[in-house]
Structure 1
């Protein structure tokens, strides 16, 4: 027995892996299984995030470092200015503070690899400065320009934000100039910060869910699917029996952790569903005063925190903002969705869900009517094809590489060639964007083809096919 236990112990001293993330549950949660698996494989993993994520990260047996322990970076959990250029500005400003605060200490360490969330661009910068291989983690879709600009809503958002985002862009360029002066960084565009890694990229969904995945070189991208197991929680004080008693009629409403400070939307939902046949579970966030929402109807359970995985297992329709974390969990439990996106990323997610027949995109919550949302809920519950389609996506998750494939990729990261084609394709991407705005049409825009990862198109390594992921801002 002692020999068996000894064999189960992970190998030690394989090397130190740094993991840099942003302070959002939708970005941290998907990485936890991967981190736990890397630790079990024998790596020392040091996870960098805000201190409120310490317990979650330490549960993986990783070491934890709070950004506040070495710099004064201030991530704003709820932005009043959601201009996409402001987001880019905030990330590059954070990058300067974080790199300045830790780079000298990291120079003294023997680092095997750096993993970073696509938004945590300082991870990529540190990889360049320290000459360490990097792996980028995409918690959601890896954006493709053809897919992004197939949406008139997204195009309008880009145009509006570009018109009003001049000051954000100017300040971003000032930070870039300082970074380039202080560190040996390759030139980069501040409007195309979120470009992944030239070494390797992990996408936390399947090739079937990713639009235009056939254009993404599988030697540089692994579609590993979502990972949820480490987040399983015991809902000891949540009335799950009420959901079981109302099987087939349960509607779950959650707008994520970032956009819960909107009591008007929650009261709208109460008025909309209080006299319907549905039993509604509504997550309003820990900062919402539930008493301020008025009388809670008998067919509602309203909580500041909801054990989402347990609730989804008993849900017939999920009303959500369209964050990728919620989408992955909903597909995993075969639940069709009603989507009310707020951001460009969520709009793209919602469009993809609707195209795959897994949900209905009603547009921003500010424009939706009670009649429309009730009708959409009834439609996804009553129409079998919605669940048939969500089952297909769930099956694609099961066939994806998973955490084991991701660990294998990290273990062989030093054998990876730097894929200059990924970076070169970004120049082509930007040119295509400019052409779009000047002509209103794409040249040689093929229809979305076979998503089978075994097809020859999905494994193409030519730069014309290899459109690396990016925040495609003209």
Structure 2
């Protein structure tokens, strides 16, 4: 039985895919210690892992406000803050594990601290990539327009200083933001399929495309509103981080008020149903819904384009209307549209009329469903968390 150190990135779309891997490792006899933030403590403990907390660094980065593509932001300011926060996480974990022994480390692809800890412990390392795998070209596509270049940034000198300090202290060779935000391991498990990954031929064999980690959630309600099997269903959700989108929700209400079926609208914990305009009787509006259960039945998914949500929709062959809010969502929307499984809309130029027309086009043009099924088949056949654990044991010997 091996002992595994897992270092997660804060966010539903990062934590949820990792839990399938964690549960399967424990089924195979491994013992798991999982570092994360308090928000996910209960979920991690339910997986059977020992939870340990590090401080949530997201408030200091203010990511949801900085990266919504509405105005220019200085990426070097963010990267400088991220380097400092990475050091805090490294220091805490190294201090708490100095008298412990582990066999290998799993960490989030976007968490520099995880890679650094694995190197400091001189252990095999497995990176968990819950977005598309990134190279410089794809990382550029992922960033909002107007990001600051070095010669335009007042923060670049401080960033360069912090980067050199980090490299010297941890014997790394980081050169720019792409090196900070993409941290491959001895192998990197990418939670998508080779078919859905853009530019897949540019990635080495150390990248293992295992598809989404679809695991039955333990904290779901019984969706009694799905009992009518003959009813068409549109599901609307803007995810868990960028979900304060009252204007988008109201546009969807207006666009779909005459839809002959059911519209399920998940608005997140930061928006209250009473804040919305008049809600038609055909709508179910909740702050949280069992997303996987709904996507199994949905005919169309209106989404922000988060990798986790989009993959879950496509896994169940559901066509998408993508309204990206930030970061990798723009690239996901582009890829969905490129492969013909849905349509990407610009949130700054969206209207109720456009949403209504787009929904009608996607529902009545059968090729969208066919292409969603093609992607879905590629995701299901990639193997998921069970394949991920096989790949781990191919590089890390199993202890008796």
* TM-score normalised by length of structure 1: 0.76
- 1:141 aligns with 132
The Cα of 1:406 is off from its aligned counterpart by: 1.8
Unaligned ranges ≥5, structure 2: 68-72
The Cα of 1:234 is off from its aligned counterpart by: 4.5
Give the distance between the partners of 2:344 and 2:167, measured in 1 at CA: 42
**Structure index of larger Rg:** 1
- 2:300 aligns with 317
Give the distance between the partners of 1:215 and 1:252, measured in 2 at CA: 35
Q: For 1:336-388, what per-residue CA distance to the aligned partner results, in whole angstroms no more than 9, with x for missing partners?
A: 0001112241111111111111110112x221122211111111111111111
Aligned residues: 388
> 184-193 or 116-125, which moves further after superposition?
184-193
| Secondary structure, counterpart of 1:366 in structure 2 | helix
The alignment status of 1:296 with 2:273, answered yes or no, reads no
Give the distance between the partners of 1:322 and 1:375, measured in 2 at CA: 19
The Cα of 1:278 is off from its aligned counterpart by: 4.6
The Cα of 1:74 is off from its aligned counterpart by: 3.3
Give the distance between the partners of 1:237 and 1:312, measured in 2 at CA: 12
Q: For 1:37-91, what per-residue CA distance to the aligned partner results, in whole angstroms no more than 9, with x for missing partners?
A: 11111211111111121111112211110114xxxx5322763222444543343
Give the distance between the partners of 2:160 and 2:39, measured in 1 at CA: 31
The alignment status of 1:60 with 2:47, answered yes or no, reads yes
Q: For 1:419-471, what per-residue CA distance to the aligned partner results, in whole angstroms no more than 9, with x for missing partners?
A: xxxxxxxxxxxxxxxxxxxxxxxxxxxxxxxxxxxxxxxxxxxxxxxxxxxxx
- Inter-CA distance 348–237: structure 2 relative to 1 (3 Å threshold): closer
- Inter-CA distance 292–357: structure 2 relative to 1 (3 Å threshold): same
Give the distance between the partners of 2:162 and 2:290, measured in 1 at CA: 41
The Cα of 1:143 is off from its aligned counterpart by: 2.3
Give the distance between the partners of 1:107 and 1:412, measured in 2 at CA: 27
- 1:175 aligns with 162
**Is the Cα contact below 8 Å between 2:251 and 2:351 reproduced in 1?**
no
The alignment status of 1:162 with 2:118, answered yes or no, reads no
Give the distance between the partners of 1:16 and 1:291, measured in 2 at CA: 48
- 2:64 aligns with 79
**Is the Cα contact below 8 Å between 1:148 and 1:348 reproduced in 2?**
no
The alignment status of 1:360 with 2:343, answered yes or no, reads yes
Give the distance between the partners of 1:141 and 1:197, measured in 2 at CA: 12
The Cα of 1:274 is off from its aligned counterpart by: 1.7
- 2:104 aligns with 113
The alignment status of 1:97 with 2:88, answered yes or no, reads yes
* TM-score normalised by length of structure 2: 0.89
The match for 1:235 among 199, 210, 221 is 221
The match for 1:247 among 218, 223, 231 is 231
The Cα of 1:412 is off from its aligned counterpart by: 3.5
Unaligned ranges ≥5, structure 1: 1-13, 416-474
- 1:347 aligns with 330
The match for 1:269 among 252, 257, 260 is 252
- 1:39 aligns with 26
| Secondary structure, counterpart of 1:80 in structure 2 | helix
- Inter-CA distance 147–304: structure 2 relative to 1 (3 Å threshold): same
The alignment status of 1:188 with 2:174, answered yes or no, reads yes
